[in-house]
Each structure stands twice: as C-alpha cells, then as structure tokens.
Structure 1
Amino acid sequence: MSTEQKKGHVVAFAFPFGSHPTPLLHLVQRLAAAAPGVNFSYFNTAESNQKVLPTADLKSYDNIKAYDVEDGAPKGYVFSGNPLERIELFVKSTPDNFRRRLEEVVGETGLKASCLLTDAFLWFSVDMAAELGIPWVAFWTAGPAPISLHMYTDVIHSRLGQNGAAQNQDQTLDFLPGLSAIHASDLPHELLHLDQPFSRLLYDMSLALPRATAVVLNSFAGIDPDVETDLKSKLKKILNVGPSPPPPGIDQDGCLSWLSSHAAASIAYISFGTMLTPPPPELLALAEALEEKQIPYLWSFRDDSKRQLLQRFFEKTESVGKVVEWAPQTRILAHPSVGVFVTHCGWNSVVESIMGGVPMICRPFFGDQMINRRRVQDVWWIGVGVEGGVFTKSGMMTALDVVMSGGEGKKMRENIGRLRECASRAVAENGSSTENFESLVDIVTSSSHQE
C-alpha cells in the first residue's frame, strides 16, 4: 500500500533521554504491524535517533518514518557534564521544536496528523492535539506507582511540608491509596522540588494527564491493583499493554551459549541500564563481593571510562565471568542459569526480571528507581535493596546469600512466579493487555477516519 493510499497519520513524540525513546518506538512498531493502513511518524532528537534506530529494523515497516527534531543546544555548545543540562535545554526548546518539525513533515508529505502518541513527559502535546482537533494518547514508560505519585504531588507537598521529605525520611505515604509502603526517602527529587525546568515539566504533566484520551502503560493488570483502581478514577482511560515484548536482539557476544554451560540459577547477571554506572568505590565493592563468594557472573558493562578500574578483577575472574558491552537482556533473564539480577531497578528491567522469574538485588539511583526498589522489596517480595542504599562488600555478600541460597530466595522465586503468571495471563489471547492493545489500535485507527 503506498503512502498516498494509507489512511491516517499517527505522530509519535519521544522524550530523548534514558530508556524513554526505545519503548515508545517498540510501541509504534507494534501499532504499525497491527494497523498497516496507517502512517506512523517517530520524532526524536538526532543524537537519540542515532542510538535507537540502528537496532530497530524499521526497513521491515513501510508505514513508519523517523524524523529528527532540534535538541535545544546552540551550535557549538560545550556541555558542562551535568546530565540535567541536556534535559533542561531540550525542555526549553519544546514545544516549538516539535511543532516546527511537524509542520515541515505535513508540508512535505501532505499527511495531516490524525493522532498524537507521545511520551507522557511531553505534556504540551495535549494542547497541540486540541488545536489540531485530534486525540492525545500519552505513553507512560514506568509503572503504576510512580505515575500515581505524580498525580498526588500537591497532596504530598501539603502533607510533608517544604523539605519535609528530608526531615522525615522514614515517614510512609499511608495517606495515599495503595502507596503506604513508599517512604518519603524514596521520592524522586524532582517530585519534591518544583523549582527546576524538568521538575515543572513533570508537575505540568500531572495536571495534563486527566485530559488525555488514553494513558498507556508498559505494565499489566494486577501488579498494583489498589494503585490501578485509584488511577482509573482520575484518568479517562488507562491501558496496560505490557509486558511488551521487545524485538529480539542479536546475541553478538554469545551470552546465551555461555549461560548454557552453567548450572541452573547459578549466575549473577549485572546491568545498570544505559544512563550511568555506579561510582568507583561501589564498583570495587561489588567486584570484591563476587570474587569472595566465587559467584559466576555475566556483566553488561559499557562505561569505558571506568573499565580500567575493574580490569584486574575481570582478568582474575575470566574463568567464571563474562563481560560484554551489550547483552540481549530479555533473553538472558529468561535463561534458567540466571539466579539473580543486580540492577538499577529501572521499570523495563523490573518487568523483564519478572517475566524471566529472576529475583533482584537493587541499587537504585534516581527517578522512579527508588520507588520500584520499594515495590520489589516490601510489596512484591521478589528481591532486596542493597544495605544502606549503596554497594559495600559485606552488604553485597549478604544480599547474594539471601537471594541465591536459603529459604528467602526460594520464597522470592515463588512470589515472582505468581507475578509472572499474572503477566502471562494479561498477554494471552483474551488477556487484559491484549484487549487493551486492541483498544489502543481502535483509538489510533478510528482517529484516522476523521480526516
């Protein structure tokens, strides 16, 4: 079917940082396969597109096109190294960068947008969609608990007071439905302090989401039932469509065959996502604990600036360990040899660990990761946080003992097995996530008929 013959033009806006762009692109790919008669345009910054697109295999889709938008950095700008700097420059450039690029694409193709499908962070999309007379579908890349906390920002501020979280670290949020296990110390900085551009963006998002035609989550019904019930009372439509299977990655370093040469539940898989690596003292403590416990490990390690720090450890343990720059994580976590996942507790990693049936040792750093760690440890009982919140040799050895051996680890595997069954039911033929995805396809395709 040629571009001219296709009906509808779904426009996807990505938030170009961290793990955000990839799940949105995967969702676009799922929708494009389900609705071949609709055009899809994926808007992201050039730098982020260069990272995301090479692994996406868009050539298989004749109804997806990717476009670059400006990132807000002046030409020749020298960054200071503060990770928030890039985000703040980008935020200041929105929504004009997306608006300009969309107008150019519409002018080039003659295809008016029929639906805006955007990262939920890009809250301005609700006004843009209203101007165009089309639906706004917001995609939330994290779990139900964090989005609920953002919806309660004003209540949290009124209860905890200014800087209240700093003074009452152990206070729990028992005044919020389904969130009594969350401590004030788990809350991300940007939720508590609204004086920065990124913090304001998230606050404005919480005000805009009730206006969305639908809010889509890469989650599944039953993982946080009380939170989900409360969210349904605040938003027009909640669509859990996960766990969304990512396109299969290439196992270029032979991770799976290496795993197959090991006993069941014997390997520690270690990965901290794409954004950061723990500081040097923590990396050394983690390495020392693995060496002392003589635990075989598979480590996805991509920070060249810190590789020298661990080079001696990698060489000493090369008979029991494997280090790669990139790993097919979903397939690794589904492998029977993996006994524990040492993780930053990003949402995608948590869901993939649940689907693989692997308990976690969590060392969160920022954003929703502390909230996810609290759910993993104190609500679902499918893992532990590291003692004191940072890696120490003794704390890591204790965590490995708890998860890899004894009754607690066995109980975690039973709990994670129940959650995995819940997720599997959701994505089955008549499951809730399957039906929700069909509803999402309906929203996207029915909007195309309004042209």
Structure 2
Amino acid sequence: MYKPSEPTSDSHVAVLAFPFGTHAAPLLSVTRRLASAAPSTVFSFFNTAQSNSSLFSEDGDIPANIRVHDVADGVPEGYVFAGRPQEAIELFLEAAPEIFRSKIAAVETEVGRKVTCMLTDAFFWFAAEMATEMKASWVAFWTAGPNSLSAHFYTDLIRETIGIKEVDGRMEDTLEFISGMEKIRVKDTPEGVVFGPLDSVFSNTLHQMGLALPRANAVFLNSFEELDPVLTHNLRSIFKRYLNIGPLALLSSSAGKETLVHDPHGCLAWMERQSLASVAYISFGTVMTPPPGELVAIAQGLESSKVPFVWSLKERNMVHLPEGFLDRTREQGLVVPWAPQVELLKHEATGVFVTHCGWNSVLESVSGGVPMICRPFFGDQRLNGRAVEVVWEIGMTIINGVFTKEGFEKCLDRVLVQDDGKKMKGNAKKLQELAQEAVSMKGSSFENLKGLLDAVVNT
C-alpha cells in the first residue's frame, strides 16, 4: 500500500456525502482507502442519519481514523411532502451549506483539529467558498463519468451554441464543438443543460457546480484514462488536477482482501450451472424501475426467447409480472429482490447486462467485459447509453427507447447470437483488459490514487 510522501500529522479531512442514490457508497469506499493509507489523518464523514444507517448496517469494519457524523436532512419540522420528484433532494441542497457549516465547526472543536481539506461530492459546489473561508483545500468527487462532467462544465457553451429557444429542432445535432463529445447528440444531454427544467434547484446546482469545479484543488472520478482518452486530455486542461481512479469495482478486488460475497438468493450457485456467456443479467439500479407495461414486455421477451436470466427486481414490483411467469420460467431463470451485481458481471456465464446505464453499472459491466442492452431514464443515463452504443461499441440501446416484447427479443438475439454481438463482446473484453491494467501497480488509476492521497492529506 502506498503512503503519503510527507504525511501531515494534524491533517483533518471533512468528507461531505450526498445522501441520495448511489453517491455516498463510492465516496465512503474512497475514504476508507485514503484513511488506511494515512492513519495519522482524521477523516470526519458527514452524511444524513438515514444514509449512514444503510451504509454502515452490514459492515462494521471502519478504519479507526474515520469518524462518522449524522447531519440533518434539511426537511423542516412539520413539513408535508407534495410528492414532487426530487423534493427531498431540493430541500437538502437548499439547507446543506448551513447544515455542514455548523456541524463541521462542532466537530473541529471535538477533534481538536481545524479542517485542512474538504473532500466532497461534486454536487456541493458551495464547498469552494467554504474551503476558502476555512483556509482548507477542496477536493471534489464526481460520481458519474467524464462525458456528463463535460456536459455540466460546458453548459453555457452548449446553451449559446444550440440556443435554448431553438433546442426542439436541434435535438439530433451533435456536440462536435466540444472535444471528446463529437458523437453525443443534444438529446443525450442531461435534463437542465439545454432542455427540461433549467431553473429547478437541482439544475441550478449542476450549473453552479460546472462553474465552480475549476476552483477545486483536484477533481476525481470513478473511471480510467484509457476509457475516454480525448475527454481525459480535455478535462485535464480545465481542472487544476483531474484524476481518474477507477474502476472502483476492480480496485477493491485488487486490494487483496478477501470478503465474503453477500448472495442471499443463491444467484452465483445458479450461474455455475449455466453455459458460457449465455445469461442475461437484468437490473435498473436502486432508484428507477421501468413502468409496469415494460416489466411485462421484459418478462414476455425473456420467456419467448428462452434466454437464461437473473433479474434483480424489487418485491413490490413483482406484482406487475405476467400471471404464471415465475412458475413457467422456474428452470429458465431467477427473479430476486437483490443480486450481487459486481460478482455476476464478472461471471463467465453472463452474456449481456440489461441496464439503465447509471455510471457505476456501466463501469461494472466494462470491468466484467460484458456487453449491454441500455434502457436509459434520466440524468447522465442517455449520455452513457450513447457512449456504450456508438463511442465504445460495447452494446446497444433498446429499440425505440422502451421495452416491447419483440424489440427486447431482437436485442437479446443481436447481442447474444449475431455477429455484431460478438464484436460488442470483443470490444468489451478489450476495455476490460485496459481497466485491469489501469488498476495494476503501474497503471494510470493506481498512480492517480497516489495523486489523490497527496491532494487530500498533504495540503
């Protein structure tokens, strides 16, 4: 394990987690790694009680120099939710600067050390000002990919070039005016960049973040340089220090620590009985589920195609499956409320990953060398799906953007059987090899981790 070149014994790092979606877990994973490498540095991890309870419920193995603190969720007392999308996120973002300021001040007194570095989710653009006030450095973690980071950095340029009023007629135009985004279309960009609710709290947060991040001492991502070399080169010219430190899924396994795989539904034992590269693994992450009609189409496509499958589907959504589907496909596949995704994507029996194209899922599929069938919903998922299909050529987007029985059958056949599916598999394997090289002892991500440690600890 590497060590900081000149560890500063009184270093105190304030880690600010974004408590929604799958943001907090990878930030904690990185914090654990940094804390193990710099045992004399205190890492104060700030997160809401609800998010902390889900992060720390299973695993009590936390380095002694990580102190976990609960912060308020920003919901005013007596507040009645109106049921708007992102309502909880907006309340938290509006209250977050004051919530973190007061809590950090209390913890500085408790620990007896001033904060020397703010290590935050990149969403917290206000950390630029806080760090200046505290005479601390700011290191930001962008939990998605370099393509969406570019979209948010270049938001003003995209708006000026495309024209917000003209956007409806320019959705098919490509962003050839941004280095590394030449194959990305306007319609692939996240909501809030040039279409959708441009003035919402969340859209404004992402816009402000794009403007603030060049002030950070370092910006780091769960990615690897060889995945997007042109984007990497361009982003390096924008930020003071731009560090790809992933894929985290491979980095964890390369640490040499054997951990017992949590597999309560026996997915991996079932996989052992399947043929090489034959299984469709289906999961749409923790936030989104396709609407009931599409769940029916997925089930019908699986049943008629006879493709073996593991489908991770929350129990509350199983009621939407066709009557008798679970009984009729008992030998063909598994429908489970939770599956060990990283291990399934590494398994040689997995032939295709049917995914929403969240960044962590895409990178885990790349790490396993598995091609994808993409059904994006929102945010950066369309960008990632476009990259999968036309930039890296390691998968395809579902026909016409939504699941139908016939469309899904055709996609399964194309990826698992047809020649261009074999090409996708070959491309995925090449990227997998580059990812493995990146996290090896002399790889780019391993070297960048040393740079991150230096940026966080030696401030």
TM bracket (short chain): over 0.9
Instruction: Write out per-residue CA displacement over residues 369-407 of structure 1, whole angstroms, 9 at most, x where no aligned residue.
Output: 000000000010000000111111111111101101021
Q: Are 2:407 and 1:400 equivalent residues in the alignment?
A: no
The AA in structure 1 aligned to 2:152 is H
CA-CA distance at 1:127 after TM superposition: 0.9
Partner of 2:318: 307
Instruction: Write out per-residue CA displacement over residues 243-293 of structure 1, whole angstroms, 9 at most, x where no aligned residue.
Output: 113575412222111100111111110110110110001111111100110
Partner of 1:178: 180
Q: Secondary structure at the match of 1:190?
A: coil
Instruction: Write out per-residue CA displacement over residues 309-332 of structure 1, whole angstroms, 9 at most, x where no aligned residue.
Output: 126322321221112222211111
The AA in structure 1 aligned to 2:70 is D
Q: Are 2:225 and 1:225 equivalent residues in the alignment?
A: no
- Structure 2 unaligned blocks of 5 or more: 1-7, 254-258
CA-CA distance at 1:77 after TM superposition: 2.7
Q: Secondary structure at the match of 2:403?
A: coil
Partner of 2:4: none
Q: Are 2:159 and 1:148 equivalent residues in the alignment?
A: no
Q: Name the CA distance, whole Å, in 2 between partners of 1:154 and 1:376.
A: 26
Match of 2:138 among 118, 131, 136: 136
Percent identity reads: 48
Whether the aligned pair in 1 keeps the contact of 2:309 and 2:334 (CA below 8 Å) is: yes
Partner of 1:187: 189
Q: Name the CA distance, whole Å, in 2 between partners of 1:291 and 1:82.
A: 36
Q: Are 2:75 and 1:73 equivalent residues in the alignment?
A: yes
Partner of 1:385: 397
Q: Name the CA distance, whole Å, in 1 between partners of 2:330 and 2:130.
A: 54
Q: Are 2:59 and 1:47 equivalent residues in the alignment?
A: no
CA-CA distance at 1:166 after TM superposition: 2.5
The AA in structure 1 aligned to 2:299 is A
Q: Secondary structure at the match of 2:61?
A: helix
Q: Are 2:26 and 1:23 equivalent residues in the alignment?
A: yes
What are the within-5 Å matches in structure 2 for residues 361-376 of structure 1?
361-376=373-388
Segment of structure 1 superposing worse, 155-164 or 209-218: 155-164
Q: Name the CA distance, whole Å, in 2 between partners of 1:29 and 1:7.
A: 18
Q: Name the CA distance, whole Å, in 2 between partners of 1:215 and 1:148.
A: 12
Q: Secondary structure at the match of 2:70?
A: strand
Whether the aligned pair in 2 keeps the contact of 1:120 and 1:139 (CA below 8 Å) is: yes
Q: Name the CA distance, whole Å, in 1 between partners of 2:191 and 2:166.
A: 12
Whether the aligned pair in 2 keeps the contact of 1:298 and 1:321 (CA below 8 Å) is: yes
Partner of 1:297: 309
Instruction: Write out per-residue CA displacement over residues 38-88 of structure 1, whole angstroms, 9 at most, x where no aligned residue.
Output: 111111112222222224x24341111211111111224332333311111
Partner of 1:326: 338
Partner of 1:209: 213
Q: Name the CA distance, whole Å, in 1 between partners of 2:80 and 2:263.
A: 36
The AA in structure 2 aligned to 1:126 is A
Partner of 1:83: 85
Q: Secondary structure at the match of 1:83?
A: coil
TM-score under structure 1 length normalisation: 0.95
Q: Secondary structure at the match of 2:366?
A: helix
Instruction: Write out per-residue CA displacement over residues 321-378 of structure 1, whole angstroms, 9 at most, x where no aligned residue.
Output: 1122222111110001111100000111111101111100000011100000000000
Q: Name the CA distance, whole Å, in 2 between partners of 1:213 and 1:237.
A: 6
Alpha carbon RMSD of aligned pairs, Å?
Answer: 1.5
Q: 1:46 to 1:427 in 2, by over 3 A?
A: same
Q: Name the CA distance, whole Å, in 1 between partners of 2:10 and 2:267.
A: 43
Q: Are 2:446 and 1:440 equivalent residues in the alignment?
A: no
Instruction: Write out per-residue CA displacement over residues 84-133 of structure 1, whole angstroms, 9 at most, x where no aligned residue.
Output: 11111111102001111111212222232111100001011111111111
Q: Secondary structure at the match of 1:222?
A: helix
The AA in structure 2 aligned to 1:250 is H
Whether the aligned pair in 1 keeps the contact of 2:148 and 2:190 (CA below 8 Å) is: no
Aligned structure 1 segments of 4 or more residues deviating by more than 4 angstroms? 246-249
The AA in structure 2 aligned to 1:34 is A
What are the within-5 Å matches in structure 2 for residues 403-422 of structure 1?
403-422=415-434
Instruction: Write out per-residue CA displacement over residues 188-231 of structure 1, whole angstroms, 9 at most, x where no aligned residue.
Output: 11222431111111111011110100000100011111111111
Whether the aligned pair in 1 keeps the contact of 2:281 and 2:354 (CA below 8 Å) is: yes
What is the number of equivalent residue pairs in this alignment? 441
The AA in structure 2 aligned to 1:178 is G
The AA in structure 2 aligned to 1:36 is P
Partner of 2:115: 113
Segment of structure 1 superposing worse, 362-371 or 304-313: 304-313
Q: Name the CA distance, whole Å, in 2 between partners of 1:76 and 1:226.
A: 50
Partner of 1:339: 351
Q: Name the CA distance, whole Å, in 2 between partners of 1:130 and 1:396.
A: 52
Partner of 1:59: 61
Segment of structure 1 superposing worse, 256-265 or 64-73: 64-73
Segment of structure 1 superposing worse, 148-157 or 33-42: 33-42
Q: Name the CA distance, whole Å, in 2 between partners of 1:414 and 1:338.
A: 14
Q: Name the CA distance, whole Å, in 1 between partners of 2:147 and 2:171.
A: 19
Q: Are 2:36 and 1:33 equivalent residues in the alignment?
A: yes
Whether the aligned pair in 2 keeps the contact of 1:116 and 1:136 (CA below 8 Å) is: yes
CA-CA distance at 1:164 after TM superposition: 3.3
Q: Name the CA distance, whole Å, in 2 between partners of 1:35 and 1:140.
A: 22
Whether the aligned pair in 2 keeps the contact of 1:6 and 1:39 (CA below 8 Å) is: no
Partner of 2:166: 164
